[in-house]
Structure 1
Amino acid sequence: MRRWSLALAALLTGLLVTGRADAQDKAASMGSMTMPGMTQATPDTSASRAYAKANADMMQGMSVKMSGDPDRDFVTMMIAHHEGAIDMAKVELDHGHDPILRKLAENVISAQTSEIKEMKAWQQRHPR
């Protein structure tokens, strides 16, 4: 499992730092990867397709060219990351049944929407 985690971290680092299309393609195919002990691929359900789309959109949004300004790069990537979390929370609300997780999804949407507004306001105050 540690080997798989390190490989995923390396892949995501390459995607975030370079924004290379080949890294994006590899990230998009991560849903079909299996970890030791797993015997089947991800089920093809409307929820799994929605999660895969939310993840792919998030990864695309995070694959920006670095500006060299760590504050600007952080905010730019975190906005996309939070938007992805909101999209995934909406999938939970559309498809999930567990009341605790549904409440968590509502909290994610609320908190991360607020944080996105805060980060966008920072961008407005710090134009390039």
Structure 2
Amino acid sequence: MRKTTTLLAAIAALALSVTTASAQSSQGAMKGMDHSAMGGMKGMKGMKGDHNMMAMNEYMTAMKKMDQAMMNAKGSTPDVTFARKMMAHHQGAIDMAQIELRHGSDADAKKIAQKTIDENTKGTSELEAWLKSHGG
């Protein structure tokens, strides 16, 4: 039984590492690619298609900015690092919600976007106050 459990754990770990490596390889392969013809974007014509493409490009830019900011956020303690990374995460949520407000057409989605902005602005303020009071 113990050998079987160990073997299954080893197989699971190997499968996870292969999946992770494959995903990372795919992400690297997509850098620099022209994504304008991907998926549902293909065949879109006219103002609506241009508007959707503009929003998609803005989302991609916002996510790259957030990812980079989160990767670069560091601190002298795990607590400070957490606060700084979460501030970058909150800003990314705010940026994406603002894109929804600019480009979205559904009233309920826009309400959620505004709520996202409000909550993440508050979260950022709390983290900033915590950093200030803890020398971060």
TM range (shorter): 0.5 to 0.7
Pick one of 57, 64, 68 that aligns with 2:65.
57
Q: TM-score, normalised by structure 2?
A: 0.64
Deviation at 1:42, TM superposition (A): 6.9
5+ residue gaps in structure 2? 1-15, 42-49
Q: Percent identity?
A: 33
Is 1:115 the counterpart of 2:123? The answer is yes
Deviation at 1:69, TM superposition (A): 1.7
Deviation at 1:32, TM superposition (A): 7.6
Q: Distance in 1 between matches of 2:103 and 2:67?
A: 22
What stretches of structure 1 move > 4 A for 4+ residues in a row? Answer: none
- Tell me the number of residue pairs that the alignment of Structure 1 and Structure 2 aligns: 105
Deviation at 1:119, TM superposition (A): 0.1
Pick one of 17, 20, 23 that aligns with 1:7.
20
Q: Distance in 2 between matches of 1:115 and 1:57?
A: 19
Question: Are the aligned partners of 1:42 and 1:48 in contact in 2 as well (CA < 8 Å)?
Answer: no
Question: Are the aligned partners of 1:54 and 1:88 in contact in 2 as well (CA < 8 Å)?
Answer: yes
What SS does the aligned partner of 2:135 have? Answer: coil
5+ residue gaps in structure 1? 12-24, 34-38
What's the C-alpha RMSD, in Å, of the aligned pairs?
3.3
Q: Distance in 1 between matches of 2:38 and 2:67?
A: 24
Q: Residues 65 and 47 from structure 1, CA distance in 2 versus in 1: closer, same or farther, beyond 3 angstroms?
A: closer
Q: 1:15 is matched with which residue?
A: none
Deviation at 1:60, TM superposition (A): 1.1
1:64-88 Cα offsets, whole Å, 9 max, x none, are 2644622111111000000000000
Q: 1:48 is matched with which residue?
A: 56
Question: Are the aligned partners of 1:32 and 1:41 in contact in 2 as well (CA < 8 Å)?
Answer: no
Q: Distance in 1 between matches of 2:73 and 2:102?
A: 33
What SS does the aligned partner of 1:104 have? Answer: helix
Deviation at 1:98, TM superposition (A): 1.0
Question: Are the aligned partners of 1:32 and 1:42 in contact in 2 as well (CA < 8 Å)?
Answer: no
> Larger Cα Rg: Structure 1 or Structure 2?
2
